[in-house]
Amino acid sequence: MSSTDGPDLAEAPEERCFLSTAEAAALERELLEDYRFGRQQLVEWCGHASAVAVTKVFPLPALPRKQRTALVVCGPEQNGAVGLACARHLRVFEYEPTIFYPTRSPDPLHRDLTTQCEKMDIPFLSYLPTEVQLINNAYRLVVDAVLGPGVEPAEVGGPCTRALATLKLLSIPLVSLDIPSGWDPETGGDAEDGLRPDVLVSLAAPKRCAGRFSGRHHFVAGRFVPDDVRRKFALRLPGYTGTDCVAAL
């Protein structure tokens, strides 16, 4: 989420749906500093909206009882916190999430979210099977909450890097939060050889790399962004229906 350090959006209307990394960071600063939203609030909103997006693509009534399972793979940065919140909301929505969180953050917010998930009896895997078919057989879908914009695989350590290598090989649907982990947020670099999600949930607003997303469903989870902030960043996004917190792109 970021300010106006990128190209002149007024001269590039075709890019008004997308934010650069700098613009995304500036938009988030505006929410935190000017509007005085808390980081936990933003994470909670994004996690709830991400879970709602999952329910729209994989509605519970259409799933057999044994296919309500979801594996949520979380990294140690903010996207991982959103993944933890998403997993908790999926449990509230009566799905059966399991979390793989190999590199745990000492950040108090991460610790709080982890405790909440544990208290709600959401299982945590101690390791991710390298036998891909075991994951395909055990889960209906996987949520990728490993890396967010500006976070490189090398920054989060070997376990997360190995997890991403496994996610690339899965045949079950993959839902990426904000950006597909490992993609360059500006150019979408690694879009061909990296993760190929079926569903992308852009948080607040789509990042530039979303222009290269070719999966089945793209949602934006930004209902919480005030109208004047949307105008300031020249965002042209679809409207939200009724009380929906996500909109399909």
209-228 pLDDT, tens digit per residue, is 999 999 999 999 999 999 99
Determine, yes or no, domain membership for 5. no
Q: Identity (one letter) of the amino acid at 147?
A: L
Task: Give dist(CA 114, CA 151) in Å, integer.
Answer: 21
Task: Give dist(CA 245, CA 89) in Å, integer.
Answer: 14
For residue 4, the model assigns a pLDDT of 36
Task: Give dist(CA 244, CA 208) in Å, integer.
Answer: 24
Residue by residue, DSSP assigns 101-128 as --S----HHHHHHHHHHHHTT--EESS-
Determine, yes or no, domain membership for 117. yes
Q: Would you give the DSSP letter of residue 248?
A: E
How far from 82 is each of 13, 137, 153, CA to CA, in Å?
30, 25, 18
Determine, yes or no, domain membership for 219. yes
pLDDT at 154 over 80: no
Higher pLDDT, 150 or 74: 74
Determine, yes or no, domain membership for 225. yes
Task: Give dist(CA 230, CA 152) in Å, integer.
Answer: 28
41-67: b (≥16 Cβ within 10 Å) or e: ebbbbbbbbbbbbbeebbeeeeeeeeb
> CATH number, domain at 103?
3.40.50.10260
> What's the whole-number average pLDDT of the chain?
89
Determine, yes or no, domain membership for 28. no
**Pick from 175, 145, 150: which is nearest to 163 by CA?**
145
For residue 6, the model assigns a pLDDT of 43
- Please, which pLDDT band fits residue 109 given cuts at 50, 70 and 90? very high
Each residue's pLDDT tens digit, 14-49 = 445 899 999 999 999 999 999 999 999 999 999 999
Higher pLDDT, 174 or 191: 174
Each residue's pLDDT tens digit, 51-89 = 999 999 999 988 887 789 999 999 999 999 999 999 999
For residue 155, the model assigns a pLDDT of 67
End-to-end CA distance of the chain: 18
Provide the domain limits for residue 221. Answer: 40-248
Determine, yes or no, domain membership for 32. no
Locus of tokens 């709830």: 48
Residues 6+ apart with CB under 8 A from 216: 57, 198, 199
For residue 187, the model assigns a pLDDT of 86
Determine, yes or no, domain membership for 109. yes
Determine, yes or no, domain membership for 10. no
HEC sequence for 12-81: CHHHCCCECHHHHHHHHHHHHHHCCCCHHHHHHHHHHHHHHHHHHHCCHHHCCHHHCEEEEEECCCHHHH
The SS3 of residue 87 is: helix
The SS3 of residue 247 is: strand
Task: Give dist(CA 13, CA 223) in Å, integer.
Answer: 21
Q: Would you give the DSSP letter of residue 4?
A: S
Total domains in the fold of the chain? 1
- pTM equals 0.90
Q: Stretch 121-125: mean pLDDT, rounded?
A: 97
Q: Stretch 116-141: mean pLDDT, rounded?
A: 96
